Amino acid sequence: MARILIIDDQPEVREVMQRILTGAGYQVEVAAGGDIGIRLHEQQPFDLIMTDLVMPDKEGIETIMEIRRSDRKVKIIAISGFIDSPYLDTARHLGANRILPKPCSRQVILETVRDLLVESPPPSPPAPGSAV
């Protein structure tokens, strides 16, 4: 089961996204800001991170940059209510795999998450005789 982290300063957005993704069978955690999200990912890495771009404590651009410095493999979706913002292009150039407008439909969220997780190769099985 894929692990997903949702980083957004708006409680209602975190709640809706968590409900959608949990309902689809994903293990979901939430963070109210970039600093908390980065710490959670460092403690136990996620398969996919969805981060808002405009947040008070640490903006999504900074969050993406910091995560990418230590993890090139995690899939990142940048979400923003400011769809015409230059932040979106910047987020893509700095490591976001996909960009989504906020709000977006349940179907778009689930399709985007599925597409990104399918792009990730499955983990290699342990070598014979190795400790698990």
pLDDT of residue 24: 96
| Average pLDDT over every residue of 121-125 | 44
Give per-residue pLDDT as tens, 84-101. Answer: 667 777 888 888 999 998
Which strands, in side-by-side order, build the sheet including 98-101? 27-31, 3-7, 48-52, 75-80, 98-101
Mean pLDDT of 8-15: 95
Q: Residue 132: what pLDDT?
A: 42
Token reading at 12: 């209602």
Whole-prediction pTM: 0.86
Phi (first) and psi of residue 75, to 5 degrees = -85, 140
How many angstroms separate the CA atoms of 98 and 76, rounded?
A: 7
For residue 126, cis peptide bond before it (omega within 30 degrees of 0):
no
- Assign 125 a pLDDT band (cuts: 50, 70, 90): very low
DSSP one-letter string for 64-132: HHHHHHH-SSSEEEEEES-TTSHHHHHHHHTT-SEEEESS--HHHHHHHHHHHHHHSPPPPPPPTT---
Query: What pLDDT, in 10s, does the model give residues 18-48?
Result: 999 999 999 999 999 999 999 999 999 999 9
- Domains delineated in the chain: 3-119 (3.40.50.2300)
Token pair listed for 124? 């290699």
The whole-angstrom separation of Cα 132 and Cα 120 is 22
Q: What is the predicted pLDDT for the residue at 122? A: 43
